[in-house]
Each structure stands twice: as C-alpha cells, then as structure tokens.
C-alpha cells in the first residue's frame, strides 16, 4: 500500500488509529462470541480461563491501546452477559480484558511505560494484603517477567511487529501479548487475594505455573495474530502498528 493509499484509508486518522471502526466492531463481536467457547482450566485454582482470553491482547496489538481497550471492554462486557460462568468478578470482569488489551497495545506501539506502571501497581497491591506478603516470590518471578516482556517489547518488539518476516512479527506479538497477560493478571490477582482469598500454598505453587500458562496463551495469540497482521493489510484492512511507517517514513 502506498503512502497516498494509506492516507485515503478511512481509518487512518482519529481515535481509531489506522483501523476502520467497522473492523474494530467486528473484533469486539468476535470477542463476545468467543466467551461461549470451551474454557481451559487454571492449574491449581479450580477456576477456568476462557479461550477468548488469547484474543484480548490482539485487540490492543491490532488497534492500539485506546481503541483496543475500548474494543476489549465492549466485547468482554457483552461476552460475560452471554456466558456468565466466565464472569468470576461479576459485571466488573470486563476490566481484566480491557487492561490486557491496553497493556499489549501500549507495548506494541513502542510505549512500554503505561504497561510497566500497571504491572508495578499490581505488585504494590499484592503486598497490601496479608496473604500476598506471605508469598513475595510470586510477584518477584511472575511480575518481573512481565516487566521484562513489556520493556523488551516496547523497545524492540514494536519494531519487529512492522517487519514482514513472520518470526520477527511473531516475537513482537508474543512479547506484547505476554506483557498484556501479566498486566491483566497483576490486577486480577489482587482481587483473587481479596475476594477469593486463595491460600499462600496455592500462590507458591503458581509461582512458576502462572508464567508458563501465560507463555502458552501468548503463543496462542501469535498463532492467531501473525497471519492476520500479515494478510489483512494486503487486502486493504489495516491492523497493527505497521501503518505508522506511512506517517514516519513517507510510505513504502
């Protein structure tokens, strides 16, 4: 796509970035319907993890932090009504997916500071609880990996996302998605401590299980996201940060 074609694209300006609002609406609808798909078990807690979760960071990567968060909020809110068994925080459950998309979107656009701030806030909240203070190793391991992914993704991964090579693009998606999952978990875990009151033994067990689970989910985001990031722009549907090149570099 040339610079002039990009500038003529309906979604190339405004709050929706380089994506058409209709595309964002379609992804929000997909998110909501995905809540009715089978859920995966979260090891050690007896809870479940909706398959739709792997789609949330892609909302941020595709549309940017603001539009992506709005897309995730709408899709998640409707989805939790369609499938109330996924709403472990009641009507407030949609906030978790919204944070996920915002963090992933920020990292994918080369702005890691919001992502780092959210993860650090989650770490602070962790230590405000009596149970959390008994398991300092959990945030030290899990949240530190999220901080590393956000920093590396914001500095290098955001550039890899703009490359044509599938491996580089996949690495960028993985880093942004992993940071999104950790950012969302950092806030969700606080509510788990306060509401569910999971005992310290569970969190000790999850210290190394949670990072592995989120790595698997981030890989799922790569499997879905890379083909779309590669294929959709070729048919005129702009998603992802690659449209930034037309603003910064004068086109291709």
Domain boundaries, the chain: 3-247
Residue 198, CA atoms < 13 Å, CB-side half-sphere = 19
| C-alpha span between 72 and 132 (Å, rounded) | 28
Structure tokens at 97: 């997916």
The predicted pLDDT at position 41 comes to: 67
What pLDDT digit, counting tens, does each position of 109-140 carry? 999 999 999 999 999 999 999 999 999 999 99
pLDDT at 11 over 70: no
- What average pLDDT score do residues 35-49 get? 64
Structure tokens at 146: 């999220």
Q: Which run of H or E residues covers position 50?
A: strand 48-50
Query: Average pLDDT of the chain?
Result: 86
What pLDDT digit, counting tens, does each position of 48-76 carry? 566 788 999 999 999 999 999 999 999 99
pLDDT at 172 over 70: yes
For residue 36, give the nearest of 90, 93, 86 by alpha carbon: 86
pLDDT at 241 over 50: yes
The predicted pLDDT at position 105 comes to: 96
Q: For the packed helices 200-231 and 166-191, what is the interaxial angle rounded to 10 degrees?
A: 150
The predicted pLDDT at position 247 comes to: 41
- Look at 90 and 134; give whichever has higher pLDDT: 134
For 171, residues 6+ apart whose C-beta sits below 8 A from its C-beta are 157, 160
pTM score: 0.87
Confidence band (pLDDT; 50, 70, 90) for 12?
very low
């Amino acid at each position: 796509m040339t610079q002039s074609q990009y500038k003529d694209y309906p979604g190339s300006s405004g709050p929706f970035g380089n994506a058409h609002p209709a595309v964002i609406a379609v992804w929000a609808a997909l998110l909501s319907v995905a809540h009715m798909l089978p859920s995966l078990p979260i090891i050690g807690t007896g809870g479940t993890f909706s398959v739709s979760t792997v789609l949330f960071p892609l909302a941020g990567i595709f549309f940017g932090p603001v539009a992506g968060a709005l897309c995730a909020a709408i899709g998640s809110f409707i989805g939790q009504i369609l499938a109330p068994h996924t709403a472990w925080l009641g009507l407030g459950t949609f906030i978790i997916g919204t944070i996920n998309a915002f963090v992933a979107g920020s990292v994918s656009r080369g702005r890691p500071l919001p992502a780092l701030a959210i993860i650090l806030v989650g770490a602070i909240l962790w230590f405000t609880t009596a149970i959390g203070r008994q398991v300092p190793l959990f945030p030290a391991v899990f949240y530190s990996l999220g901080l590393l992914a956000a920093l590396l993704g914001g500095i290098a991964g955001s550039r890899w996302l703009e490359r044509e090579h599938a491996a580089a693009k996949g690495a960028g998606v993985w880093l942004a998605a992993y940071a999104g999952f950790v950012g969302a978990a950092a806030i969700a875990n606080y509510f788990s401590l306060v509401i569910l009151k999971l005992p310290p033994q569970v969190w000790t067990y999850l210290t190394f299980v949670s990072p592995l689970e989120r790595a698997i989910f981030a890989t799922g985001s790569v499997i879905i996201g890379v083909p779309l990031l590669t294929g959709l722009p070729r048919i005129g549907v702009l998603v992802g940060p690659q449209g930034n090149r037309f603003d910064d570099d004068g086109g291709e």
